[in-house]
Amino acid sequence: MDAVSSPLTRSQLVDEYFIENRTKLLDLAAYLDRLDRAAAAAGDPPDFRMEAFDRALGALLGGGPARVERVQLILSDPTTEPLEALDRKSAVGAHDPRREEAR
């Protein structure tokens, strides 16, 4: 897929969106700090959502084209077969590969 250029220059994008995304980074940092403090206190086992979150952060930091596609694929359920019945009332935000092993 060919990259589509932005109608804005790099400088214009930074001027327009830097503060918004700076805030998002600070929110993420605060969330991760809270998780670290809670994990240290409780000794809980790893959560599949946070494992996916960590992989998604790695995809962001890895740079290169198509970051959003890589992150979306990390968080998406890769299965193609429909479930016989819904197993939850709401989405959990990431695919749990261990559920595949249990089937």
The residue among 54 and 3 whose pLDDT is bigger is 54
User: Is residue 92 scored above 90 in pLDDT?
Assistant: no
Identify residue 87 by its one-letter amino acid code: D
Q: Which of 76, 71, 70 is nearest to 28 (CA)?
A: 71
What are the boundaries of each domain within the chain?
7-44, 46-78
The pTM assigned to this predicted structure is 0.76
58: phi then psi, degrees, rounded to nearest 5: -60, -40
Other CB atoms closer than 10 Å to residue 13's CB: what's the count?
13
Start-to-end CA span in the chain (Å): 35
- Name the residue with tokens 């994008």: 13
pLDDT in tens, 3-51: 668 899 999 999 999 999 999 999 999 999 998 888 767 777 788 999 9
User: Is residue 67 scored above 80 in pLDDT?
Assistant: yes
Length of the chain: 103
Overall average pLDDT of the 49-58 stretch: 94
